[in-house]
Amino acid sequence: MSTVGYLNGTFVDPERALIPIDERGHQFGDGVYEVLRVYSGRPFLPEWHFERLRRSLRAIGIENPHTDDEWMQLMNEGIRRSGEPESLVYLQVTRGIAPRGHLFPAAKPSVSMTIRAFQPAEPNPSASLLCLPDERWANVWIKTLNLLPNVIAKEIAHRAGANEALLVRSGWVTEGSSSNAWFVRDGVLWTAPANRYILGGVTRRFVLHLAQTLGLEVREQAIAVDDLGTVDEVFMTGTTTEIEPIACVKVDAAMRQALHELPADAEEVIVRAVERPVTVWEGPAPGPVTARLQDAFAQEIRRFRTFA
């Protein structure tokens, strides 16, 4: 298994690549990224990823350093060098290298990329979520490098024995720390709308397409955290997890109020111990609707592989 790196025009050993101290991605998180899944040597849904990359770059005022064709050529060369037909491509674009200052510099954007072998995790029939306050900024739709709130939420969930955090903003479920959330109620799919408060996942978009082909009714509306007990199925979607069925959703009893209104004490927000998690939903994993979508997703990937 070989990991390939790329930095500003040159393929490099990732262990030896050097990032200058004045790199704005390093100092400010001033950049955006994309992660693409590679099946049988082919990136999956690259056009959708490039579209989101363009939107993110435009939103923070960074010029796109490559055309879509150039991005494809760069990725394909990296995949070829890696020799890993089942892998993940990580693309990152930052504002560049310049002496530290808050104003945008006249700098050339920096581009980095890695290709790493990827082996999906075995399905977990008891996967669980822990509801936590969504403490991210108000422009979550931009896929920026600023992921500290996501990292903290994921760590808190992990310490509580959950697979993922389920983020809640003012009483409404937004998404996971690194995935989009879906709910099934009376055969209808519910998922939060692709507004500024969620990162519209490429897999989320693909599942919406699959749901349409299956004739499933979809409501792009947020679910209230207090209504979680009324849903029949829960699953999460993401590039690395595809469609992940969930068996249990829990709420930290000590943080219930924070799901509706963030506590004033900053220490309570940033560093907390999970106390007495209470189960608010349990169900089949996967449920029948989730299983139909999983089957449809798998069929599409098999079809995609045949053209590799």
Q: How far apart are CA 268 and CA 273, in angstroms?
A: 9
Residue 108 known to be catalytic: no
Quote the pLDDT of residue 258.
82
User: Is the domain defined by 4-117 classed in CATH 2.20.28.90?
Assistant: no
Q: pLDDT averaged over consecutive 10-residue blocks of the chain (308 residues)?
A: 90 91 96 98 98 98 98 98 97 97 97 96 94 95 97 92 96 98 98 97 98 98 97 98 98 84 58 80 96 98 91
Quote the pLDDT of residue 265.
57
Catalytic residue among 108, 143, 154, 250: 143
Residue spans of the domains in the chain: they are 4-117, 128-303
Q: Which CATH class is domain 128-303?
A: alpha beta
| 49 contacts: CB under 8 Å, gap ≥ 6 | 34, 36, 43, 202
